[in-house]
Amino acid sequence: MTFNSIEFVWFFIVVLAVFWSLTKRDTLRIALTLVASYYFYVSNNFWLIYLLLITTQVDYFAGILIDRENDPRRRKFVLVVSIILNLGLLAYYKYFNFVGNSIEQAAALVGWQLSWVDRNIILPVGISFYTFESMSYTIDVYRREMRAEKSWLRYSLFVAYFPHLVAGPIIRASELLHQFRRKPRLDAASVDWALATIAMGFVKKVVCGDYLAGYADKLFTDPMAHGTLGAWLGIYCFAFQIYFDFSGYSDIAIGLAKLMNFDLPQNFRRPYIARGFTDFWRRWHMTLSRWLRDYLYRPLGGNRHGTWMTCRNLLITMLLGGLWHGAAWHFIIWGLMHGVMLAVERFGNTDRRTEVAPGGMGDLARRLIFFHLVCLSWVAFRTGDLNNMGQVYGSLFRMQGDPAWTWGAVVAFSFVVLGWLAQYLDERRSLMDGFLRWPMWLRSAVYAACVGAIAVFGASAAKPFIYFQF
């Protein structure tokens, strides 16, 4: 069951009705929301819910033990056990075969013949997301940044809450747990904002992202069949496909939670008009960036020990950030690309310039140049092997002609251009705030047009969200 399915629409309508019918029954409301969250998860991956339950139980009791204990060594011991169990499960299900196959291939280079048995391990949906969320809770309790949650129901719902369960945003316990204790109240302005956010998310995913996917797939499936302009179109299409797909999921998740009176953190903020890689990671998958900063980069030393150590920490952080996305070398290469560029910016002290107020042709040119650098890095993210990566990069720069573009290709390019311009204009004045000031009849017409577009573009089978595989 995914957000872009009819099954989910009926599921959420029922959950929402039950949730608001229990405004005076706090415990029952939380319990039924938790049951609904578990049902949502098992509809995607029935047997592997036991991993979610193990993670929840381990960190719930670890948090209580750490909070009660005053002996530093015992507190650290409990934290280490919790982290080892969490990372152990993540490593086995996500990286076991990758490590084994890599060892086999490396041995073959020196003439050793090893036979790795592929165990056909199924990757549990959302394991990277809920593992990071649950780990951050025990670390925050250990740091005395929050008290342990005594209610098993509330803590379990924090980990399993279905809007963010399988693809984020990556939420901290301190952001969500306290919201489970308050009486739900909803006003007209909140409903308007939530509906607009959900509609925007569905249009991004179903209309824009899924349409662009077809042109991106053509390039990466057979890059040598494309000329230079066709190859660049494919790169642009993937850049906006992954943006529309993932930010669309985040918008839907945030809007759904808002209808239940819960506030989830923003996950995207116009990333393709960033002025540099540092600025980009303040705008793209913001909750992951924040997690990597607070639980990896800063514990490594951050920027406190000179430029060279800062660059080292950036490289390590982004390498592991790339590996978080998937067990494959191309994700590691993609992470290292971003780590190198972040280090170059830090070494050259160019990040201070990203705070210049927007406006002017120089500012526009810088944003466009950086957008193309990000597009080039997406090649490494999308390709499945190094040979395919080289072919895609080659097709971008071999200056080969293309056949005449089809009408569909023109529509795809229009989505790309309009998507970039929308971010550029939204930076100056919020398009969402402007839309919500429109009269109701006009907004209703826009919603009707969105439903029509979703019906037309989503007539075929619903395509899964890209980040479900991470």
CA 276 to chain centre: 20
The 10 Å CB-count burial string (b at 16+, else e) for 345-373 is bbeeeeeeebeeeeeeeeeeebbeebbee
Q: Are 298 and 322 in contact (CB under 8 A)?
A: no
Q: Are 251 and 197 in contact (CB under 8 A)?
A: yes
Q: Are 242 and 249 in contact (CB under 8 A)?
A: no
Q: Are 330 and 384 in contact (CB under 8 A)?
A: yes
Catalytically annotated residue among 164, 325, 330, 338 = 325
Question: What Rg, from alpha-carbon coordinates, does the chain have?
Answer: 23
Supply the DSSP symbol for 171: -
**Dihedral sign (CA 25, 173, 123, 82):** negative
Closest C-alpha among 187, 91, 171 to residue 135? 171
| DSSP letters for 241-273 | HHHHHHHHHHHHHHHHHHHTT--PPP--S-GGG
Cα gap 154→133, rounded to integer Å: 14
Cα gap 35→21, rounded to integer Å: 16
Tokens 């895609």, residue located = 392
Closest C-alpha among 299, 255, 277 to residue 450? 255
SS (H, E, C) 183-223: CCCCCHHHHHHHHHHHHHHHHHHHHHHHHHHHHHHHHHHCH
Cα gap 218→214, rounded to integer Å: 6
Quick check: is 164 catalytic? Answer: no
CA 393 to chain centre: 25
Closest C-alpha among 416, 426, 399 to residue 215? 416
Supply the DSSP symbol for 403: P
Catalytic residue IDs:
325
